[in-house]
Amino acid sequence: MAVEEARQGQPDPNHLQVKRLNRRWGAVKLPKFGWVRFRWTRPLGGTVRNATVLRDGGRWYIAFCVEDGLPEAAPNGQPPVGVDRGVVNAVTCSDGWAKDRELVTPGEAKRLRRLQQQLARQKKGSKRRAVTKAKLARLNARIRNRRNDLCVWVANRLTRRHGLVVVEDLNIKDMTAFAKGTIEAPGRQVRQKAGLNRAILNKGWSRLVLALEHAGRYHGCSVVMVNPAYTSQTCSACGHCASENRESQAVFRCVACGQLDHADVNAAKNILAAGLAVTGRGDLAGRRSVKRQPPVTEVG
Q: How would you class 269 by CB atoms within 10 Å of its CB: exposed for 0-12, middle for 13-18, buried for 19 or more? A: buried
- List the catalytic residue out of 68, 100, 244, 264: 264
C-alpha triplet 38, 210, 283: angle, nearest 5°:
150
What is residue 34's DSSP assignment? E
Q: Are 117 and 41 in contact (CB under 8 A)?
A: no
171-194 b/e (C-beta count within 10 Å ≥ 16 → b):
eeeeebeebeeeeeeeeeeeeebe
Catalytic annotation present for 264: yes
The residue among 254, 228, 226, 253 whose CA lies nearest residue 240 is 254
C-alpha triplet 130, 135, 136: angle, nearest 5°:
95
Catalytic annotation present for 283: no
The residue among 241, 16, 255, 208 whose CA lies nearest residue 93 is 208
Catalytic annotation present for 68: no
The residue among 120, 117, 113, 112 whose CA lies nearest residue 139 is 112
The residue among 150, 172, 164, 175 whose CA lies nearest residue 224 is 164
- List the catalytic residue out of 4, 5, 84, 149: 84
Q: How many CA atoms lie within 13 A of 10 on its CB side?
A: 25
- List the catalytic residue out of 5, 56, 102, 168: 168
Could you give the CA distance from residue 105 to residue 139 in angstroms, rounded to a whole number? Answer: 11
Task: List the end-to-end C-alpha distance of the chain, in Å, as a whole number.
Answer: 75
Q: Are 115 and 139 in contact (CB under 8 A)?
A: yes
Active site residues: 84, 168, 264
